[in-house]
Structure 1
Amino acid sequence: MNLSSGIKYSFLVVVVVLMQNKVVVSEEAIKVHLAEGRTDLEEFASKLEMTLNQWYPYIKGLLSSDSSTPNYSPPVTINVFFERMEDKSTIAMASSEGRIILGNIDYYQTHQHDVGSMIHELVHLIQEYPKNVCPTWLIEGIADYVRYYHFHRQDQHTDRVRGKLFLMPRKPSRRQSWRDGYATTAFFLDYVVANVREDFLYWINKSCRDGHYRESIWKKLTGHSIIKLWRKMIKNG
């Protein structure tokens, strides 16, 4: 991974995280780095760093693993860098091996309200599922579920930096599938959590992280096959 020159790395720091009006001392640290001279993104970088550090303990708890997953440990330090990406369609991406989030500097120059996309990548670093176990559509769906139905919902769907309204995912149509991932799967997950089983996210996340995920787990956890749940959501969601 080619990171821009002139970027300074940081070491572990102790961060005071403000969550729900409580001061929580955390050893985790998320540091946002800008290349020298990028003063146009300083305000955004400062807000992003504060927001990611505030939300990290919450997301880590939301996607927690108990003692039955002994080989898993969430990242302690995460670095966020901005650079120009060859693929212009890429907004941001996470590297679990390097505990790094890369943001497309061309995108964030004009989308400084889009902190939610970085929340999505932060979720990926916390997920850290074994390879070839949890399907990609579910991995991306969980990340967007956390982004929209926790991060944006708590902010009443509005990012106040520019006053732009964040539209929540629309109800999928009959032509779509739960395998579409991202916002479509996120809507489906929210329906299941809200209407079928409140702790569904915990168990589906655990099955992915433990390496035991199978599609049959949907019926085991809810009493309904995944296709029946999807049809119920289309009809009633």
Structure 2
Amino acid sequence: MITTLTVTLLLLTAQPPVTPYPTGDALTKQAYHLASAKSVPTPKVTVDTTVAPDLAEWGKHAGELMEQWYPVVWNLLGTQDAKPMSAIKVTFQLKQDAPAYATGGGIFVSVPWVRAHPDDFGMMIHEMTHLVQAYPGSRNTPGWLVEGIADYIRWWRYEPEAPRPKITEKNKYTDAYRVTAYFLAYLTHKYDHGLVQKLDKAMKTRAYSDSLFETSTGKKLDDLWAEFVAYQTR
């Protein structure tokens, strides 16, 4: 699901159904001030839609969106000692297994997927987040958390009003994607607004361990998950 760089295959993990979240709940939208926000260079995004000229406008909009959101994502993660990218290339492909995936300095997009889902610009934010993550290969980089952070950026920052997954006792925090993202949103709201940044920085420096959750919240990871499930199923 993820290589030693930052490859993601979207939607290959079964996810629970999504349902609208109650209006007004604090977890529906998170917009905390970025105390350490800094200005970073915006990479030049080039988009190659040669194989699908009809998607040129879609690609142009996606590129502009990525240029706007790259500095935002950069400041939402633990990038203090990292170096921003200077360029990102987006390439459309007629055949690939995932809607989109990121690797190295580029993002590859499925032409059939975009034609069938023309409003899915959020996947570009998810994939661009992987480029900002850029974790070095390490067994201290759990894939469930990598994908959870990318979906947290997408669904709680870029698309904060989107429907939320329905969490049940059958789910686990290692389910990745929206499930893990929802869990991170809960912990970020209740315990530590800088949690995602800390987790990201730890993985960037090969220093991640599950104990980081306890350091930030005072509770062990399994206990936090049980609390979250109880909150969701009350």
TM-score, normalization: structure 2? 0.78
Cα offset, 1:86, TM superposition: 4.3
Residues 143-152 or 130-139, more deviating: 130-139
Note if contact 1:93-1:103 (Cα within 8 Å) is conserved in structure 2: yes
Q: Quick one: distance in 1 between partners of 2:210 and 2:78?
A: 21
* Corresponding residue to 2:76 among 52, 59, 62: 62
The answer as to 2:181 corresponding to 1:173 is: no
What residue in structure 2 maps to residue 4 of structure 1?
none
What residue in structure 1 maps to residue 144 of structure 2?
137
Q: Specify the SS of the correspondent of 1:93.
A: strand
What percent identity do the matched residue pairs reach? Answer: 29
Q: Quick one: distance in 1 between partners of 2:83 and 2:60?
A: 27
Q: Quick one: distance in 2 between partners of 1:218 and 1:25?
A: 29
Cα offset, 1:168, TM superposition: 2.6
Report which structure shows greater RCO (CA 8 Å, sep ≥6). Answer: 2
**Larger radius of gyration, structure 1 or 2?**
1
Cα offset, 1:117, TM superposition: 0.8
Q: Quick one: distance in 1 between partners of 2:99 and 2:116?
A: 12
1:7-156 paired onto structure 2 within 5 Å: 26-35=41-50, 38-66=52-80, 69=81, 72-87=82-97, 90-96=98-104, 99-132=105-138, 133-153=140-160
Please provide the CA RMSD for this pair.
1.7
1:112-162 CA distance string (max 9 Å, x none): 100011111100000011212210000000000000000001xxx3xxxxx
Q: Quick one: distance in 2 between partners of 1:202 and 1:196?
A: 13
Note if contact 2:42-2:71 (Cα within 8 Å) is conserved in structure 1: no
Q: Quick one: distance in 2 between partners of 1:125 and 1:63?
A: 12
Distance 1:205 1:25, change over 3 A: closer
Q: Which amino acid aligns with 1:75?
A: M
What residue in structure 2 maps to residue 211 of structure 1?
206
TM-score, normalization: structure 1? 0.77
Cα offset, 1:27, TM superposition: 4.8
Q: Quick one: distance in 1 between partners of 2:186 and 2:93?
A: 37
Q: Quick one: distance in 2 between partners of 1:235 and 1:113?
A: 34
What residue in structure 2 maps to residue 186 of structure 1?
181
Q: Quick one: distance in 2 between partners of 1:102 and 1:234?
A: 35
Q: Specify the SS of the correspondent of 1:183.
A: helix
Note if contact 1:92-1:104 (Cα within 8 Å) is conserved in structure 2: yes
What residue in structure 2 maps to residue 11 of structure 1?
none
Note if contact 2:156-2:185 (Cα within 8 Å) is conserved in structure 1: yes
Q: Quick one: distance in 2 between partners of 1:77 and 1:43?
A: 20
Distance 1:101 1:193, change over 3 A: same
Note if contact 1:171-1:187 (Cα within 8 Å) is conserved in structure 2: no
Q: Quick one: distance in 2 between partners of 1:27 and 1:134?
A: 27
Cα offset, 1:174, TM superposition: 0.7
Note if contact 1:27-1:76 (Cα within 8 Å) is conserved in structure 2: yes
Cα offset, 1:188, TM superposition: 0.2
Count of aligned pairs between the two proteins: 193
Q: Specify the SS of the correspondent of 1:82.
A: strand
Q: Quick one: distance in 1 between partners of 2:122 and 2:42?
A: 23
